[in-house]
Each structure stands twice: as C-alpha cells, then as structure tokens.
A and B are shown apart, each in its own frame.
Chain A
Amino acid sequence: MAIYGSVRRFWRSFSTFSSDPLRVCIVGSGPAGFYTAEKVLKAQEGAQVDIVDRLPTPFGLVRSGVAPDHPETKIVVNQFTRVAQNGRCSFLGNVNLGSAVSLPELRELYHVVVLAYGAESDRTLGIPGEDFYGIHSAREFVWWYNGHPDYRNFNPDLTNTHTAVILGQGNVALDVARILLRPTNELATTDIAEHALAALRSSSIRKVYLIGRRGPAQAACTAKELREILGIKDLQIHIQESDLLKSPADEEELKNSRIQRRVYDLLSKAASAKDLHSKLDHRELHFTFFHKPDRFLESDDRSEHVSGVHLEKTRLIGDESGRQVAVGTEEFEDVKCEMVLKSIGYKSIPAKGLPFDHQRGIIPNIRGRVVSETSGDSALPEQGLYVCGWLKRGPTGIIGTNLYCAEETVSSISEDLQKGLLQPTTRKSGRDGLLQLLDDRNVRVVSFREWEKIDSEERRLGSLRNKPREKLASWDELQRACWG
C-alpha cells in the first residue's frame, strides 16, 4: 500500500501536466473572449477554459451590437460555437462578476483570469441639459432594437418625434440612423426585436441629423456603411457643399489614409447628386459638419424634455501631435428635435479593486498583463490577471481587431507560463470550484447546451414570421426557454 502511494506520488510529480491542467477563466463572451479562448486552447494543450458572462446568451456585441440588417457580420458566431463546443471549454452564462462571484475569488479558483467584458457604458458630453428626457446614448438604442434583456422596457418615444439628432458620425451613428430611416418592411425580415419593429412602424421620425465636430475628411465612419445609408430607398441626402472644401491639412490627411479618402469621395459624390423628385412621405438625412453641441434646449410644453440642440460652429486647428482638433468659433445655431442620440463613444466600467484609466477608458496593462499602479516608475504586473478586447485597447476596432488583440494577450500568458510566473503546479479547483461556489449562492448557471435551447427556440419563432430568429428579449423569456 505504501509502495503504491509512493509510486503514485512519484508519478504525480512528473505528470502534473495531466492531473493539473492550466485553468483559465475568461470574463466576457464576446469576440475578445472567444478569440482568447480559441488561442489558449490552441497554445496550451490540456488547458481548461471557462467563459463566463453575465447574460444567459453568449457572443456579446455580435448579438447585441451588430445591426439586424448586417447578418453576414454575425457568421463569426459559427466559429465561436465550435470553440464553445470544444471538450476543454465551457460557457457559464448568468454569472455576474461582482454580484455572483468576485474577482479575488476567481483568481483563487483559476491560474489565469482574463477580463474581456468590453465597454457597457458611454462617454458623456458634460454639457447642460444632458439629463433631459429624450436624450439617450446610441448604445442603449442599439441594445433596445437588438433585443438586449436589460433594455426591454427602454421604450423610446418615436411617435411624438419628427426630428432626431444623432451626435457623432461613426459607424454606430450610421447604424442608428439607418434603422430609424429604413423602410420597416425591409427590417421585418431581419432579426430585429419585435418590440422595436412595432415601435419603428409607428414612428413619425422623418428627419435625422448626423452632427460631427469636424469635417468630411475626418468622418469616423467607413465606406461600406456610408454607401449603404446613401443607397436607402426614398431618402433625401443633404450635405452642404461648403463643408466639402478641403484645407491643405485635410489634403495631407487624405493622402495618408485610404479609408478617409474613400469616405470623402462618397460624401462629395452624394453632395453633388441632386435629388430632384421629393415624395410626400420622404425622409431626410442631413450630414452636419463642423458643429459641436453647446447645450440642450428644454421644451416649453413638456418640462425636462429636450426640444432642440444649441450648436456651436467649429473650425479645425492642428494640435501638438499633428492631429486636427475642433475649436469653437462663438457662432451658434439651433436645431429643433425631439430625440437626441449620443454616439460619441463607449466606455468601460471599472472593475472593483483594480486601477482604471478614466481618460482612455481601459484597465492599465502592458501587452495584456494588468499592471497595478505603483508610486515608482515601474508598474508591477498583477499575477495571473490579463485583459483583452475593448477593455485593453479602448472601445475602437471591429470584430477582427480582437484577433490580434487576443494573440498578444495569449502570447503574454504563454511567456509568463514559461517563466513560471503562473504557479502551474498549484492545484486550482477551476470549473468545479466555481460551480460549487455558485451553487452555494443559488446562482443558476446557463450552460452552452441551454443556450442552444434558447437558440433553437428563437429560430423556431423566427421561422413563423419569416425572420432568421425572433430574439427573446426579456429575462423571463430567456429563463423559461433555457430552464423550462
């Protein structure tokens, strides 16, 4: 017996690899989380990866951010599904970092914790009147029409609105404008949430302004989205020719950037195309450049409700880094509207107990390794804690950008593993420990199988309405679908 025990211990010391796999926990199941999981599974044989998300549905912004009329962008979900179905990987939905389990507890249970929970908040303008009714962030509006369960009861007032103002000219702004202006029969065959489709059908919005601080040469949108919105049926595009004048600095910028060049060409073509016929129920899209919001105007009839935006004209000057910045010129004008959507950027939510760079909206890190701020010059990396995705780089980039981001983070993990910084020989309870902990706290976990139940239910409901899927947009419906 003693010999057996000693042989076992002897064997164990050489086979720590098989008995103690590297346990990795990824918080966030969007593109960053899944790409990180895929690369960890490939780089570390035998690693056990758990992807944790606070929603019962995985895939993050691919599900709740990509516009319903862009189904091809969502095809990447197939690749993520294959990762989740890998035997060494599991998805744990309905687990909230902070309320269900804390970060120190996760770091206790896993060798490696990767934070990839993205950006669930917004940048603020910080101008008077920002808290009026009728002013929302574009993120909330996008979550609402994409059936995010947190925004089921968002209910934007589209029936008493004739004009909507969108602050910002990035792709999210264009998405929101397109959903507001697109004929609803075209939206009826997409996976847009049903409550949003009903609201849009009864919408009286006929005019949408896209307001940007700088000019067409600095517009943050990309050619594909711009082309799409300029091609919407029965939509009148208004662009002022005077805005299209290029300064020498603009020429320089355009020369160096292919994206900006193509966007500028599209805008100048749209400005020169004269739309002669105007139908009775036509819709208008106005591109307003060189204006920034100064304050919001309150309505006389409805208190605390927005009735317009007080805009200040801007001009561009170069700053120290050579970038052109917009500064006010003290010339003002007003735009009347009943709804304002701020599309000026997302912002991450800080994690409790970790430093946070509020200016850039990221957790301070070096190539994905979270660093804790020390008083000295050198920043100490936190052991076993990493970031990936928007939380690491800031809320910019497309789905594919996370590929390279994940590669960098995973190579940092592999390097640290090789240097022995991750205590791979210490036994960590990993998935079993986490499930036990959650069970003790009465938190019911949604497994990937249960998500597949939700998925097939959504597709079944969608097939009844000629849609690819009918999203279950409330917590109750989701719980009923996966737990019966």
Chain B
Amino acid sequence: MDKILVFLPKCYPNAPLIGYYQVNIRHIQEYKKPNRFLPSGRRPRPLRGLPAFLAGISSGIRNSLRIPRVLPKAINSSAVLSSYRLFWVSTIMFIPRLSRVAFRLAQELSSGKCPQAIRGYVQRPSSQFMQCQVEQRMENKLFHASIMQKICLYSNDASGDVVDPKQKISVTFVDKDGKEKHIKVPIGMSMLEAAHENDIELEGACEGSLACSTCHVIVMDMEYYNKLEDPADEENDMLDLAFGLSETSRLGCQVIAKPELEGIRLAIPAATRNFAVDGFVPKPH
C-alpha cells in the first residue's frame, strides 16, 4: 500500500485536536537518524511535513521521558516498522488525554449544548493549523470555561458546582394560566436557566445578576421552601420589589437544583393574582 491513514492526538503545537494524515510510505522510509553527513558525503535533505512531525514527536517524547536512544536505532533499522512503533508509542502516551477529550466531547454533544468553541474546533479540517498559542493551552479548559460561563450568566450566587447533566431532578412550573409543565433540570442549574431552556415564560431582565425581580417564582409547597437556603440580603432586597410577593417567594436565578428538590413545584406569579401577604404592594422607584 502506498499510503496509510495515521490518526494522531493533539501532541504537537499548531495541530488540531484530532486529525488524520495521508502519509506516503516513502517519506517515512526516508527518515534516518540525524547524521550530519551521509556515507556518500551528501547532507541529508531537510525534513518536511509528516517526517518532520514524527521527528518532532520522537524527540519530544525522548526529551520528556528521557528514553535512552533505543528508539532512534529501532527507527533506523526498519523505517516502516519504526513508524508504526512510533505511532503506537505516541498514541499510548496520549490515550488518557485522548479519552478524556473524547468523553467530554461525547458528553457535551449528547446533552445537546456543545459549546461553540469546541464545535468549531472539531469541525476544523486537519489542514488548517490556525490556532493561537493561548487557545492551545486553554483547550482542555475550554469545556469548563464555556460551561461556567453559562452558569455564571444565569446564577450569580451559584453553588459553584459544574452542572452535572447526568443527575436531573424533575421540576414542575405552573404558569399564569394554571397550566403545568414538567421538566428535568440538571443538578447545579438555576431555575431561571432551566425555564429558558424549556421555553417557559419566566423573565430574566438582569440575566441573573440580582438587579431585578422579574424571575420571581413562588414555591408552592412549604416543605420545599424550607429546604432552600435562606435568601441573602441582596436577594431579599430584590424580592421586596417583586410583584405578588408571598411567604414562599424566591428569585428563580437563585434557586439552584439539588437532589433534595426533586419534585419541587414553582408557580409563576400572575399580575392579577395578588398574593401579597403584606397588604398593599408599594411601588418605589
């Protein structure tokens, strides 16, 4: 066979996450231990493309792991065999990393909210190596960053945990007309974000920064209300201004899903319903 397909994980700067190369066997065969002068006296041709790539890998591995110079000899003896060996060595070195990458990718894709950056990353063809150095270093942190960005966008005072898409609790939203909608909310997600993802009409004017009261929800059962942490002063300040305030009112962006809240029911207050326990509802500005 003239050409082989080599799958290599990201272990070389400026390479994409996963790529494949069509390798001409002849180029592999031409790789030699770098001797300054060949027996015939000619200087070796400078290595380009994949051979240079492989040379880079091998020297990198050697340097980082301080492998004695057994490998180069092995490579020298039989170029084709050595290239396969090299390939497997590098793969084995990076299998844990590769599997972590693949697992997270599968996770994100299955949950349906593949972060924008990662999507672009994977889809990029192997021939484009346009990556700036910063991005490469951040590539594993990209997952966390995009997840946290979404969480931070919606929950200011979040527990700080990463959203766990596997564990979900069931939540029922009762809208202004009394219609119920049952949804599944992953642990760590705020109720405001969950409502928006499921097309429930819950306003979030300040997008979870505790500067408004539009995501006001009423916890319909007292026992669930007691399971929530006490609201902070900032949340109470905003709840003061909420329309239709009740004894079990909370801000949706501050109620974070946790296993104890399984089956919680939240009502969206209607303008006509006057739940105000405090009598008249003053409207300051």
Contacts and interface: CB of A to CB of B under 8 A. Distances in A.
B237 A72 contact: no
Contact of A220 (B234, B243, B284): B284
Main secondary structure of the interface of A (DSSP, over half): helix
Contacts of A284: none
Interface in A443-465: none
A178 to B, nearest CB: 15
Nearest to B282: A259
Nearest to B237: A224
A257 B279 contact: yes
Interface in A166-206: 170-172
Interface string B204-219: 0111011111100000
A8 interface: no
Interface string A333-361: 00000000000000000000000000000
B285 A72 contact: no
A274 interface: no
A398 B284 contact: yes
Interface in B229-247: 233-234, 236-238, 240-241, 243, 245
A224 B285 contact: no
Main secondary structure of the interface of B (DSSP, over half): loop
A17 interface: no
Contact of B285 (A79, A397, A403): A397
A401 B284 CA distance: 10
B241 A398 contact: yes
A220 B245 CA distance: 18
A396 interface: yes
A73 B214 CA distance: 12
A72 B234 CA distance: 13
B280 interface: yes
Given A227-B233, A262-B240, A401-B243, A257 B207 contact: no
Interface of A: 70, 72-73, 75-76, 78-79, 170-172, 220-224, 227, 256-260, 262, 395-401, 403-404, 407-408
By Cβ-Cβ distance, the 10 closest A-B pairs, closest first, are: A72-B211, A224-B237, A404-B271, A76-B205, A72-B209, A256-B279, A397-B283, A259-B240, A223-B237, A396-B283
12 contacts: A72-B210, A73-B206, A79-B205, A170-B284, A171-B284, A223-B233, A223-B237, A262-B240, A399-B212, A400-B203, A400-B213, A403-B203
Interface of B: 203, 205-207, 209-214, 233-234, 236-238, 240-241, 243, 245, 271, 278-280, 282-285
